[in-house]
Chains A and B, each alone.
Chain A
């Protein structure tokens, strides 16, 4: 699976949008971009995933560039409970590629 690069940490004011970038310049055509987050001392929580098109759900929006080499996770109105480590993972959904490889992620701190 392709490697991803994320900033180590980011801060965001409560109520504002949090935009978390991820670079995946070696992504291949079969690979999806997944986002998970991990709140302290809990298991990772699935947020969203996408292949080429932008995606939105009740938690967040995922913007993928046209060349698919980078993406941005957007939390439209960050709350204190969104403070967590956010992981961007590229994954091949083929039969041999269901595993996830976690990098270091981005520690997002939402400040009051």
Chain B
């Protein structure tokens, strides 16, 4: 069966420090991968998505970047964190090109920038 792993679960980082969040999917190949950010009262905001290795689409210009170095690995990064980067980050995957599959989400990373 397919599983999605996201780590770390919680992270407290000082302003100006770098960030690296990792997401991996098991049990499938060539998944579509997504990074969402959830801020209180603002729902889920799509940050990046990828339909293949090295293919990254950015939805919102910001202080973050994403990379997909391997088929089932998706990394969210920042060179210098801002206070406004605090939030709950969720990775998700979808199989194939049909919306019939829906999205499956990881358990999330709670990032607090201090």
| B and A form one assembly | no
A interface vs B, CB < 8 Å?
Answer: none
Interfacial residues, chain B to chain A (CB-CB below 8 A): none
